[in-house]
Structure 1
Amino acid sequence: MHLAQLAHLLIFIWLICLMFQVGLSVTVTQILASCQEARVLMRGLVVNLCLVPLFGFGLLLLFKAESLLSVGFLIAICFSGAPMGPAFTGFARGDVPFAIGLMVLLAFLTPLISPAVLSLLMGFLTKSQKIEIDYVQIVTPIFVGQFLPLGMGLTVNSLTPGCAGKVLAPVKMINKFLMLAVCVLVVATEYKTLKIFGIKAAIGIPALFAASAIAGWWLGGPGKGKRKAVMFNTTIRNASVALVIASGNFPGTPALAATFAYSLFSAVGTVLLIFLVRKTCDVTG
């Protein structure tokens, strides 16, 4: 098995384990409670599923990025519902129950909406170079790797919460190991293409991250707790889903390198943002 194939398999296993962990960590009651905040919830869904992809699309048009790089960045930014969103919200003293509800809803809606958004935006960016992407090959691993394990985790947590609590700790440990292994393997297989990024990427990636953070904070109000919940669910993109799609459709190309680069930056940037928001904004309000 080649390194690229091993990386794709490991990423897919990581996605399944992450979503199972999310299901074990939340309850249906928490999800339903978040739905009571319908207006804020709707704004959180809009900024994640629509505005962030449009921001990225605008920057790619502005910088006239090469086609495969554009595709990779679009894959990275179109898919939301990252399992780390609620954890980051908790570190920043935000509204964790609301963050969990928003994240779970994004995880369920992403397979339905994001592939269509990706295909639409990609069509505009790659007119000069025909790049075909298998829609079924996008949707199938999302449903199998995201939707089903999430549902299984929720079911286990609802029927046997004691068992879910016992299983959660080892699952978290496995996910930490898988995350490290995925990063090492992707760098090992894509280190040559990672060298292609220049000044445009150095400007565009932070600009998109900043726009995502501002939009999430602005649309997450009123109340700092919910602003933080929406912002951290927005800045951190769903790297596991994005990497499954990129490694399955564009292995060994700049597209996978671009997906990995923005996913890594969004994770590191969100961690740094936590300390900034945690210190400068109070919890209440």
Structure 2
Amino acid sequence: MISTIGLTLPLELSIYLFLVATMFSMGLGLTMREIAAPLHRRRLIGIAFFINLIVIPLAGIAVVSLLPMEMGVAAGLLIVACAPGSTIGPKLAEFSRGDVSLAISIMFFLSVLAIFTTPITLTLILPGAITEQIDFFSVMTTLVILIFLPMVAGLAINSRWRSFADRIRDRAFLLSNLTIVIFGIIFIWVQVTGEVRFIDSFFAVGITATAAVFILVAFSMCIGYLLGGPEKHNRQVIATSTTNRNLGVSLLVGASALASHGEAFLIIIVYAIVQTLISGLIAVKWGQKVRRKEKRERKEMTKE
């Protein structure tokens, strides 16, 4: 797989390291009880799957059809739109004071489904000139190795050796954060050195593609909130989980499919930054409202 991506070896390895470390640390923080707890709420889980696997990819098709952009840039946006299961969903649920167990369940199942649904969906919607460059069986195999197996390994350790998992969980989470920093440093370095001239194609991305990112992020947040059911804390979880696409899957598939389109690979990074900032700020704002409400209620109870 490495030889077919077409990026520098350190950049390729940093993507792999990010995926393995992130999924392993996520597994260390999960239990089967947490994953299974929300499954009785089939309607909510079904809505989350419907939005993430069908609505957002269709929205991506609409955006790239309506806004003029290069084929490679459009393909980059579609790859992100078709990659559900971001690992930061539970953390955003904590920020917003939402249902963390629901966010964990959605994250887990969408991360697993993304291994299979992302290549299949992209086969249906990407231009043939791009899909011909992708060995989807190899991509799916790589995703299983880099996403599913590390996550299951972490889950197994947490289930069978809880005390050991407790000792290494913080370190694994720190390593996960460190790997994305390493990726960013290497990404900047290859631009500065000119080894991979992503910076030359930054202006080729243009304001239209940047606007498309904001439109798709905003739509994802709104549709998740509107369809997330009658309970506000559930709507917030569906909204933030839907808004954040799977960076690891997007990077890996994008690297395989778009090695000759530096601006498209850059769009994936831009999308990750925009989705994280917007959903993070909104989740914090929601959490502040909940805390203020709880504070007022405590004051009223004290007066009584």
TM-score, structure 1 as length reference: 0.91
**Which runs of no fewer than 5 residues in structure 2 stay unpaired?**
191-197, 295-304
Match of 2:39 in 1: 35
- The equivalences for 1:30-69 within 5 A come to 30-69=34-73
CA apart distance, 1:45: 1.0
Determine the C-alpha separation between the residues in 1 that align with 2:187 and 2:118.
Answer: 23
Match of 1:156 in 2: 157
Q: Residue type of the partner of 2:36?
A: L
Match of 2:143 in 1: 142
User: For 1:234-280, what per-residue CA distance to the aligned partner results, in whole angstroms no more than 9, with x for missing partners?
Assistant: 11111122112222332352221122221222122222222333345
User: For 1:27-81, what per-residue CA distance to the aligned partner results, in whole angstroms no more than 9, with x for missing partners?
Assistant: 1011111111110011001111111111111100111321111111111221111
Cα separation, partners in 2 of 1:24 and 1:256, compared to 1, 3 Å: same
The higher radius of gyration belongs to 2
TM-score, structure 2 as length reference: 0.86
Q: 1:77 aligned to 77, 81, 84, which one?
A: 81
Determine the C-alpha separation between the residues in 2 that align with 1:183 and 1:268.
Answer: 16
How many equivalent pairs are there? Answer: 281
Secondary structure at 1:232 match in 2: helix
Match of 1:172 in 2: 173
Which moved further from structure 2: 269-278 or 90-99? 269-278
CA apart distance, 1:122: 0.5
Match of 1:203 in 2: 211
CA apart distance, 1:85: 0.8
Determine the C-alpha separation between the residues in 1 that align with 2:282 and 2:162.
Answer: 33
CA apart distance, 1:137: 3.0
CA apart distance, 1:203: 2.1
- Contact kept, 8 Å, 2:73 with 2:209, in 1: the verdict is no
Match of 2:298 in 1: none
Determine the C-alpha separation between the residues in 2 that align with 1:252 and 1:265.
Answer: 24
- The equivalences for 1:91-130 within 5 A come to 91-123=95-127
Secondary structure at 2:126 match in 1: helix
- Contact kept, 8 Å, 2:244 with 2:279, in 1: the verdict is yes
CA apart distance, 1:117: 0.7
Q: Does 1:263 align with 2:264?
A: no
- The equivalences for 1:161-240 within 5 A come to 161-189=162-190, 190-240=198-248
- Contact kept, 8 Å, 1:88 with 1:271, in 2: the verdict is yes
Determine the C-alpha separation between the residues in 1 that align with 2:57 and 2:188.
Answer: 25
Percent same amino acid among aligned pairs?
Answer: 26
Secondary structure at 1:198 match in 2: helix
**Which runs of no fewer than 5 residues in structure 1 stay unpaired?**
none
User: For 1:163-195, what per-residue CA distance to the aligned partner results, in whole angstroms no more than 9, with x for missing partners?
Assistant: 111111110111111111112222444222223
